[in-house]
Amino acid sequence: MKAGVIVFPGSNCDHDCYHVLKHVAGFDTDFVWHEKKSLKGYDLIVLPGGFSYGDYLRTGAIARFSPVMSAVEKFADRGGLVLGICNGFQILLESGLLPGAINRNTGLHFLCKFVKLSVENNKTSFTSKYKNKQIISIPIAHNEGNYYCDDKTLAALKKNNQIIFKYHGENPNGSIEAIAGICNKKGNVLGMMPHPERCSESELGSSDGRLLFDSIRCL
């Protein structure tokens, strides 16, 4: 399986994702500069965390217009797997590939710590190696991680089993219904605020994120 890690100006988790994909999970992995206009040959595209374009306007709002995002949209329409982590999740929301929006954290503080998540749907390409309702430990690192959507969108997310991860035990950023990650209706685009690439090796304090990449690799 071939994976591409999108690099935007300001990305700072691109090397983390590349390391886990290539050296831990065993994917054939490339960096993909944000000006690239074709994603032919890839099976998985990862939008990593970071501060794309410095987040000067609104998180993900400028990156959404990078040339590569048109290719990402076409790639997703064809059924390609897309994973957006933290800022990558925000970019997917801004681009309309996933519904909803992100607000500032409740309390207006940057949060960087391990949190507990509940796996709400283990029937996706990203979560098949997890048990349903499994509690996992994954770190967050964000200032704008407060996921929000209107009542109609929330009802649709629930009906279609698009809520993939929820915060367990605490809701650190105030997200509606403690949502930490969602997918699209087709199940091939996943956005999540926590960083699975930062906990894919036991030396980092948890290897719970490894199962997400193993789920993809086993397709």
Q: Which residues are catalytic?
A: 86, 195, 197
CA separation (Å) from 49 to 3, 11, 83, 156?
16, 6, 11, 27
199: Cα separation from own chain's centroid: 14
Which of 134, 116, 126, 103 lies closest to 184, judged by CA? 126
3-state DSSP assignment of residue 108? coil
Query: Within 13 Å of residue 143, how many CA atoms lie on the same side as its CB?
Result: 10
Largest CA distance in the chain: 43
Q: In what order do the strands lie in the sheet with 189-192?
A: 28-33, 2-7, 44-47, 81-85, 189-192, 179-183, 163-167, 111-119, 135-142
